[in-house]
Every structure is written in structure tokens, then in C-alpha cells.
Structure 1
Amino acid sequence: MKISEILKQREVTISCELFPPKKGSELKKAHEVVRETAKLKPAYISVTYGASGGISEHTVDMANEVQNRNGITALAHLTCASSGKEKVRQVLGELKEKRIENILALRGDIPENLDFPLPGQYHHASELIEEIRAFGDFCIGGACYPEGHPEAESIDADLDNLKRKVESGCEFLTTQMFFDNNILYNFLYRALKKNIQVPVIAGIMPVTNANQIKRIISLSGTILPQRFRAIVERFAENPSALKQAGIAYATDQIIDLIANGVNHVHIYTMNKPDVAGAILSNLSEIYHAGQPEGAF
């Protein structure tokens, strides 16, 4: 099913992100992660395209495992920063063959020591979206940045770029992680003023270990509110306590989002079905209340 239809049919959706293995020898373990995540019955499961925007030959395999072997709608990521048009079309053909009809179109991070764009490459995600739209009947999503893309000249310029994505054929948007819901609410207000009216899915990262926090700061520079920093400082030396606190913080974020009308949430699980499961358990009545009759 297309994600655009899922978002119309369900008042509340909670979905999950997984990443594929780097090595073929790790596929068996990755498939087990898919099975455990599928048991949670998320609205859909997304599969990333590899670190730093690079090619992952296992993305299609994982998406196939999600959808055709476990019965959960798959959303395949597709990046273009390090992929020529020929490679992109090859992947699109593979996805079409597997009946994977949902794609998250991303430029991706530009690899170090690479002159970008090379001949035969896409400059922007909007160009990739146009290519996907021309290739076949896919439901296309895009990324958005509540705190602004780090390469954007300004928040306003970033929103203009986001509007171009939507005008190119993007049907829904998924946000980068954030830890202060007010940042998202302000972003949604600004986006609406730009007449960006496609569904926005809030990306939530449950932080469960101290190293994860350091990596988040170094990669995204996202703002960490005082309440979150206090949790980290208090429990940094106690892994089990920090994990429990991180799950609780993510749960509280999601409850606040849904209470304020942000009904679609995407959990960045880091391939930890137990963490996603704990959050969904905390939200069981809230999540089930937003589903159509017979969804479970």
C-alpha cells in the first residue's frame, strides 16, 4: 500500500526505520531484526540506503524482507549524492520488480573528497524526485529539517527548497530527529505559511546510550533542551538507567506530539526492536485508538 493512502486511512501512525547490513554475511541477523520489528505492527518500515549517502546493495533485499515476507509496507530510501543516474534507475527497476512502491528520495551526504555533482548526477533531491516520478508509479517522500538544513543560507531559503521538493512530486515529509517539540511546532507554522501542505511525519530518536548522544551532536548539531541534557548528565554512567530514561523521553515526546495534532511519528530505531517495542507498549492505547476497525 502507498504511504499516502496509509496516512489518509489512519488517524495515528507510528512507523520504524531500520538500516541494512554492510556485509552480506550479516543479512541473516538483519532479517531477524526485520521479523522482530514487524511483530510490533508499525504502519510501515523504512530501510536506509547506506552511510554517507552511499550505495547499499542490501536496501532492496531488506525492503523485500519487510514487505513481501513479513507483510509490512516498506519505504526504501534512495540517495543520489554518490549515485549516477544509471545506478538510480537500476535501483528503481529493482524496487519496481519487488513491488516496493514507496521511496524516500534524499540527496544524501556528499562523500568526502568528491567533486559534487559529477557529470550524470543529480544536483538536488528535487531532481531525484522528478526522475522517480517519471520512472514509475511510486509514492515519494522527502526529508525536512525543523532546525534548518545545515547547508541552507537561512530557514526561509530552506523552506523554499522544501517547497520545490513538494512541487516536484513529494507526497509526504519526514523530519530529521529533534528533541524539543516546540522546534517542530514552529517549523510546521512556517511551512504552512509557505503553503507546504503535505503530511509531515515527526522523526523521533530514542537515545539509549551516551555514545549515541555524542554522535548525534557531531553529525546533526541538533539542539538538546535542558530537560534532555539533565537526563544524560544524571544517567550517563548507568547504561540501563539511561536506556530506560531515553525510552521514557521519546514516549513523552510522542504523547505531546499526538496531543497537539502531530499524528504521524517515525521512530529511528537503530535496529533495536526492543526499544521500539517498549515505546509502542507505552503508547498502546493511544496508538490503537487511531486505527481503523480491523487494522490489527
Structure 2
Amino acid sequence: MFIKDKFINKKPIISFEIFPPKKTGSIKKIYKTIEELAVLTPDYISVTYGAGGSEHDKTTEIASIIKNKYNIESLAHLTCINSNKKDIYNTLNNLENENIENILALKGDIHPDYKLKKDFNHASDLIEYIKENFNFCIGSAVYPEGHLEALNKSMDLFYTQEKINKGTDFLISQLFFKNKIFYEYQEKLKNRNIKVPLQAGIMPVVNKKQVEKIVSLCGTYMPEKFIKVMNKYENNKEALLDAGVTYACDQIIDLLSSDVDGIHLYVMNNPITARKIVERIKNILKYLGENNG
């Protein structure tokens, strides 16, 4: 099923994001993670493309297990900056053969070990190629605070519009820790008459160093309240987990109360975090499901 159709039939959408293990021997661990996440009945689970696209074979394998073993829609990430058209065609063909119907189309990071092949310079180029050659539902990433590579926020919005024009069916936001930032971004999209569904990306804090690394890569603003939580409980794993889940749930409840299209949880392969959050908001989701149709 195309994910874009889920937004028509149900609101809000709840999804999780996981990543392929970097060590071959850890592949069994991700199977257990998927099994625990599947019990929570998300609308779909997305699988990242690995560092620099080096884990793309695992992405296809994991996405296939999610779809074909657990009957949950999977969203396979696909980056293009390190690939030529032949590479992309082969990957898309493999995904199609595995019954994968949804792709998150991304430019990706330049991999130091790969020579740039110049067939795809932007995510919009990849989206156009997919739409011309295959029948996939396409998601795109958006950046409420602006992409670090964009000259400014206006140019970032221009590139988002380009992705929409080329065939993007729905959007997933980069993580943010202040909802006002997301709401302001929503308004900017509305002003550009962009009407495709937009999911809010939320990352629960369970590891201070991990979050700080990710924030350094994407430039996400950390509110004083958020920093206080990390600093206060960073040396106690259980306390930080509880505090991080509570902070994330506060964000999510506010977003759901504002009729957001969906929540995309960056669970970092941690099913415990996902379970705690879903348990906390299950009655809210039930109420919204019954009233939104």
C-alpha cells in the first residue's frame, strides 16, 4: 500500500525509523527490534540507507522483512549523490521485486570512498527519475530550521517546492525540539500552497552524546528546557530514558492536539523507547482515530 493513501484513510499516522546495523554480526539484533516494533502496529517503519549509502543491501533486506514477514508497510531510504542511473535502477528494481512500494528519496552525504557520478545532484533529480521509470510512492525529508547546505531558508523552501513539483507524495520533517519551529514551518509551506501530508519528526532523548552528535550534523536548536533535561540526567540511563520519553510525549501531545498529519519517531533502534511513548499516548491516538476517521 502506498503511504500517501494512509493519510487519506487515517489521521494521525504513526511511524518509526530504524537503521541497518554497521556490523554484520548485529543483523540478528535488528530482527528482534523489528519484532518488538511490529507489536506496536505502526503505520509504517522506515529504514535508513546507512552511512554514505554503504548499507543499501541491508536496507533492502530489512525493508523486505518488515513488509513481507510482518505485513507492515516499509519505507526504504534511497540516496543518490554517490550513485549513477544504473546503480539507482538496480536498487529500485530490487526493491520492487521485494514488494516494497514506498521510498524516501534523498540526496545523501558524499561518501569519501566513492567517486561522485554526477547523474543526480539533488533529491529532486532522483524523484524525477523514479517517477519516470517506476511506480513508487515517494517521501521527502524537509528541514524546519533549514538544511545546513542551503544558502538560506528561502532557498531551502525553493528546493522543497522542486521536490514537490517532481512528484513527492508526502513529507517527513527533520527532528526538532521546539514545536513552535515546526508550526512556523507548516505556515511557510501553506503560504507556498504545498498541501502534501507532513509528518513531524520526533527524537526521544535516551543518550546525550548520541543526540549531541546528530544535532551537530543537522543544526537543530536545543531549547534551554531540553538542555536542562540532558544535563540533569545524563549519568543515569533509566532517569534519562524517563525524562526523554516525557519530553517527547509533551511535544507529541501538543502536535496531535494541533491536528498534525502524523508523528515519525526516530527511535534509534530502541523498541523500549517506542513502546513507552506509544503506551503513553495510546488513548489519545484511539480518540483521534475514532473522531478523524
For this structure pair, what is the TM-score category when the shorter chain's length is used for normalisation? over 0.9
Alpha-carbon shift at residue 25 of structure 1 (Å): 2.9
Greater shift, 282-291 or 161-170, is seen at 282-291
Partner residue of 1:210 out of 208, 211, 227: 208
Cα offsets for 1:67-118 (capped at 9, x unmatched): 1001111111100121222111111001111111000000011224766x43
**Counterpart residue identity of residue 225, structure 1:** P
Q: TM-score, normalised by structure 1?
A: 0.94
Residue 76 of structure 1 aligns with which residue? 76
**Counterpart residue identity of residue 96, structure 1:** E
C-alpha separation in 1, matches of 2:72 and 2:287: 20
Query: Is 1:18 paired with 2:9?
Result: no
C-alpha separation in 2, matches of 1:245 and 1:162: 34
Cα offsets for 1:220-274 (capped at 9, x unmatched): 2210011111111211222211111001111110000011121301000100111
Aligned alpha-carbon RMSD (Å): 1.7
Residue 101 of structure 1 aligns with which residue? 101
Cα pair 1:13 1:290 within 8 Å, conserved: no
> What secondary structure does 2:141 align onto?
strand
Residue 155 of structure 1 aligns with which residue? 153
The number of aligned residues is 292
C-alpha separation in 2, matches of 1:254 and 1:52: 30
C-alpha separation in 2, matches of 1:290 and 1:41: 16
C-alpha separation in 2, matches of 1:25 and 1:236: 29
Cα pair 1:53 1:107 within 8 Å, conserved: no
Query: Is 1:63 paired with 2:63?
Result: yes
> What secondary structure does 1:196 align onto?
coil
Residue 117 of structure 2 aligns with which residue? 118
> What secondary structure does 1:284 align onto?
helix
Cα pair 2:83 2:117 within 8 Å, conserved: no
Alignment of 1:96-245 (within 5 A): 96-112=96-112, 117-119=116-118, 121-245=119-243
C-alpha separation in 2, matches of 1:160 and 1:4: 22
C-alpha separation in 2, matches of 1:60 and 1:246: 31
Residue 287 of structure 1 aligns with which residue? 285
Cα pair 1:53 1:81 within 8 Å, conserved: no
Residue 4 of structure 1 aligns with which residue? 4
Alignment of 1:21-32 (within 5 A): 21-32=21-32
**Counterpart residue identity of residue 212, structure 1:** Q
C-alpha separation in 1, matches of 2:45 and 2:83: 23
Cα pair 2:10 2:289 within 8 Å, conserved: yes
Cα offsets for 1:144-179 (capped at 9, x unmatched): 000001111111111011000000000001011000
**Counterpart residue identity of residue 144, structure 1:** V
Ranges in structure 1 where 5+ consecutive residues have no aligned partner: none
C-alpha separation in 2, matches of 1:137 and 1:23: 32
Query: Is 1:49 paired with 2:42?
Result: no
> What secondary structure does 1:143 align onto?
strand
Query: Residues 292 and 9 from structure 1, CA distance in 2 versus in 1: closer, same or farther, beyond 3 angstroms?
Result: farther
**Counterpart residue identity of residue 78, structure 2:** L
C-alpha separation in 2, matches of 1:54 and 1:259: 39
Cα pair 2:198 2:261 within 8 Å, conserved: no
Q: TM-score, normalised by structure 2?
A: 0.95
Cα pair 2:18 2:47 within 8 Å, conserved: yes
> What secondary structure does 1:207 align onto?
coil
Ranges in structure 2 where 5+ consecutive residues have no aligned partner: none
Residue 85 of structure 2 aligns with which residue? 85
Query: Residues 152 and 292 from structure 1, CA distance in 2 versus in 1: closer, same or farther, beyond 3 angstroms?
Result: same
**Counterpart residue identity of residue 6, structure 1:** K
